[in-house]
Structure formats: structure tokens, C-alpha cells
Amino acid sequence: FVDTPDYDLICTICQGVLKCPVRAACHHIFCKKCILQWLKRYFKETCPCCRMPVNQSLIFIMFKLSKSIGRMKIKCKNEIRGCREKFPLSDQYCHSMSCVFELIPCPYQGCRAQLLRRDLETHTRHCEHWRQPCYMGCGTILSHRTQAQHNCYQQLRQEYEARQRNHRAIAAALQRKMRRMQSTMAHIKRQIGLICESLEVMDDLHEVEEEDFGESSAGSSGTPSSHGSC
């Protein structure tokens, strides 16, 4: 705080300036969080100042006091790093999000540097973990090291050639597979041919047997009839 806050703006539990002040039935004032924690922890629901019983449903938030505390001027918590800003307590969050003396981590993944917000730009220019896609839209992720010699045309050409090599390899593999399948097919065809041939030979044998049998029976039955007709 710029000026030391009044004694009656101090919470007796946390000894800090009241945060969201509430008043108990005994008129003692505390931070809301502090008194609720106090009541929870010590079970006997009494005021830490006067030991009067405190009913949780009978504590009132003091909006006006809260507002006037919010208007109190404070110094930036980064004063030791050089910030001389003074602003109302209620603006603390806003200021810390823009204070150039705020210590922040480098936003690039893998970088552990902690730096003042005002040094971020300089750091970004040299950060080893800086990564950004090429602004020309070629899709390459660049670091400071590769950015200098990056050439979209070359990069795309290399990628294209690599892809082509890959495609050619796939095509060759497919061709080899086809050839293997074709030779397997030819082999199977030959086998089928052989099986057919052997089946034909067996059929022929059967036919020869049947013919032999038929001829002999026809001959034996034909002789008496021919005899009869004569």
C-alpha cells in the first residue's frame, strides 16, 4: 500500500488488509475466507476477538467497505524490479497482466527462461526454442537456426522428391508381389492341367475296359440271333 492502511481495515485472523470483508453479529470484521475457515477449524463457533458466539448465517458482507478498500492505492508488487506504478487495489489484476516488470516464463515449449515482460521481445529474437511455421505457408516449422537458410521452393521440392521416392518404392513392391502371384497362378494352372490329364487317362482306361466288356457281350449275344436269322 502507498499509505499504511488503518488499523480497522486489518483482519485479526490473517493480519492482512480485509479481503471481501464480513461483519459478525458482535460487529467484529474479518475477511470472509478467514472467518469461515476459523469457524470450521475450531468447531466452537465463537469470535476470535471477543469469544462471543458467531452464527454462520448471521455474518454480512460489507460491500461499501469492500469498495472503499478497493479504491485504496497500492504500489506494484514488482516495485523491487523497477515498477513505480501506483493504482487502486481493485486494478491489481489488470496491472499484473500488463506490468512490464512482471516475471513471466518464455512461452516457447522447452524453454525454461523466466524473464521480465519487457525483455520478452529481445529474448524471443534469440530463444533457441522459438518455433513458428513459415509465414509463406509452406508448412515448415522454423527455428531461428533454420529460418536463415529456409527456402520454400527447395523445401517443397525436397518433400516432393521424398514422396516420389516413397511412391516408387511402393510401386516396385507391388510389382514384385504381382509377379509372385502370377508365377503362383501359373504353377497352379500347370498342376490343374496335370490333374486333368491324369483324369482323362483314367477315363480312357475306363472306356477301354467298358468297350472290351461291351464288345464281348455283344459278340456272345449276337451269334445266336444271327444264327436264328440265317
Interacting residues toward Zn ion by CB under 5 A: 11, 13-14, 26, 28, 31, 34, 47, 49-50, 76, 78, 83, 85, 99, 106, 108, 111, 113, 127, 134, 136, 138, 140, 152
Q: Would you say 9 or 134 has its CB closer to Zn ion?
A: 134
Exposed, middle or buried, 210 (CB in 10 Å: 0-12/13-18/19+)? exposed
* Bridging pattern class, strands 141-142 and 132-133: antiparallel
CA atoms within 13 A on the CB side of 97: 4
Instruction: Find the shortest distance in angstroms from Cβ 106 to Zn ion.
Output: 3
In the complex with Zn ion, which residue's Cβ is closer, 128 or 197? 128
Give the nearest distance from C-beta 3 to Zn ion in angstroms.
18
Shorter beta-carbon distance to Zn ion: residue 49 or 62: 49
| Separation between Cα atoms, residue 21 and residue 24, nearest integer Å | 10
Q: Residue 50 is which amino acid?
A: C
115 near 121, Cβ under 8 Å? no
CB of 111 to Zn ion, least distance (A): 3
Cβ proximity to Zn ion: between 97 and 230 the closer is: 97
Give the N- to C-terminal CA distance of the chain in Å, as an integer: 152
| CB 118, min distance to Zn ion, A | 10
